[in-house]
Amino acid sequence: MIESIDYGTQTIEFEVQRRKACKNTYITVERDIGVVVKTNVDISIEELKTLVKSKAKWILKKFEEIGQSIDYGKIVTGSRLFYMGKSYYIELLKEERINYEIEFIHSKFIIKTPLNIEQNKLNEVIEEFYKQKASEKITKLVNKYSDIMKLFPVKLYFKSSKTKWASCSASNKISFNPEVMKLSSSLIKYVVIHELAHIQYKNHSKDFWNLVKKNMSDYQKKEEILRGFKKKL
């Protein structure tokens, strides 16, 4: 049974597994499955939703850890990738071809591969997917909010980072980590607004936060969610 709860701007789906012999309720976050709640037959769905919501910050942190630690070489049909705040099923289609092709369709990832799969090629096509989507979506958001905020970056980069979602240099060049596409749409908007604000303020002063708040009134909720992740702004 699949249920879900809303946490801030994100939706967390979880699978309920009931066992009569289960004396306690456990929450696990598994790479190939997602969030699993193991419990007995007596606990109501509403009680489980309350429990999951109370653990939402921890769950999102585990999602981030999983996303960073994925060994793409082990991806098989049934594995999952995170995209726009949710975890989606992967299906590998082996064909008579020499190249690799990835598409997101009908709420799942389909990766077409040669008959003999090279794991590093799988890794590359997934990374390229995130980079392409980041370039498409974030460029549009930057253009939109630059016009609103009257702050314009000199240049945009899309570069992987183990520690940062994005950064703004002293010369007002903004670099976005393509993995930002794992976040929800509202969190991505927040990252964009945050970095554009750094064009005017190269710190996290009161004036900086006032500028962020002017363009996203509930920014503190977004900041709280992001603090649960390893990557920073």
pLDDT confidence of residue 137: 96
pLDDT confidence of residue 39: 93
* DSSP code at position 168: E
Segment 153-181 shows an average pLDDT of: 94
Q: Poorest-confidence range of 72-81, 157-166, 178-187?
A: 72-81
pLDDT score of 10 more than 70: no
Segment 156-170 shows an average pLDDT of: 93
Segment 12-23 shows an average pLDDT of: 85
Residue scoring higher pLDDT (154 or 224): 154
Segment 198-202 shows an average pLDDT of: 97
Side-chain-facing half-sphere of 49: CA atoms under 13 Å: 11
For the chain, the domains span 2-68, 74-126, 128-227
Q: At what angle do helices 56-69 and 45-54 cross, to 10 degrees?
A: 70
pLDDT confidence of residue 45: 93
C-alpha dihedral (90, 95, 100, 104), degrees to nearest 10: -40
Q: Poorest-confidence range of 14-18, 72-76, 102-106, 214-218?
A: 72-76
DSSP lists the bridge partners of residue 158 as: 176
Segment 149-174 shows an average pLDDT of: 95
Model confidence over 29-76: pLDDT tens digits? 875 567 889 999 889 999 999 999 999 888 877 776 655 444 444 677
pLDDT confidence of residue 201: 97
pTM above 0.85, yes or no: no
Model confidence over 103-161: pLDDT tens digits? 999 888 999 999 888 888 988 999 999 999 999 999 999 999 999 999 999 999 999 98
Q: Say if CB 81 and CB 87 are below 8 A apart.
A: yes
pLDDT confidence of residue 71: 47
Nearest to 28 by CA among 45, 18, 15, 19: 15
Residue scoring higher pLDDT (226 or 206): 206
pLDDT score of 220 more than 50: yes
Q: Look at the domain 128-227 and name its fold.
A: Zincin-like (3.30.2010)
